[in-house]
Amino acid sequence: MTDSIQYTVNSPFRPEEIQSLINSAGLTQIKPLSRLVGMITGSDAYVTARAGDTLIGFGRLLTDYHSIAYINYMVVDPAYQRKGVGQAILEKLVEASGDVERVFLYTDTADAFYMRHGFTPSEKRLYVYRKKGTEHGGPS
């Protein structure tokens, strides 16, 4: 079932298929659709996983290629979870990050997944500045 999955970086996508993947995995919807598209096309790299034509996995990356990178919005269709798809997407994103020293991410749903794949809780506290008037919801 997972042998025929194709992983590509920065290849065309339909916004609706990303939305329905997000829905299927129970993540917060990004609205409106134009914002979702902007988030993806504004990323330095994004990975899509397809079984035939069907989108079954996604993840995106912001990176400066030299020092730090940030992975965000990893999602795998529940029917394909725990078969190595998430690992394959994660590896491609880390590879796409360039020569960085550290790759950050935030999760409150998948700690065991990231820890299994070499991520450790940060030794420093991560801070966030929330810009006023931009409360759209969506990924951390």
Ligand X SMILES: CC(C)(COP(=O)(O)OP(=O)(O)OC[C@H]1O[C@@H](n2cnc3c(N)ncnc32)[C@H](O)[C@@H]1OP(=O)(O)O)[C@@H](O)C(=O)NCCC(=O)NCCS
- 94 makes contact with ligand X (CB under 6 A): no
Q: Which residues pair with 62 in a beta bridge?
A: 70
Min. distance of Cβ 29 from ligand X in angstroms?
13
Contact partners, residue 59, CB within 8 Å, separation at least 6: 46, 47, 71, 72, 73, 74, 75, 89, 90, 92, 93
Count of residues that bind ligand X according to CB under 6 A: 18
- 120 makes contact with ligand X (CB under 6 A): no
Min. distance of Cβ 64 from ligand X in angstroms?
21
- 122 makes contact with ligand X (CB under 6 A): no
- 25 makes contact with ligand X (CB under 6 A): yes
Structure tokens at 103: 């790759």
- 112 makes contact with ligand X (CB under 6 A): yes
Site for ligand X in 29-88 (CB under 6 A): 74-76, 81-87
- Which amino acid belongs to residue 112? A
CA 112 – CA 133 distance, rounded (Å): 34
The DSSP letter of residue 80 is: G
E-assigned strands of the chain?
A: 5-9, 45-51, 54-63, 68-76, 102-104
Q: 82 or 125, CB closer to ligand X?
A: 82
Instruction: State the residues that interact with ligand X by CB under 6 A.
Output: 25, 27, 74-76, 81-87, 107, 109-110, 112-113, 116
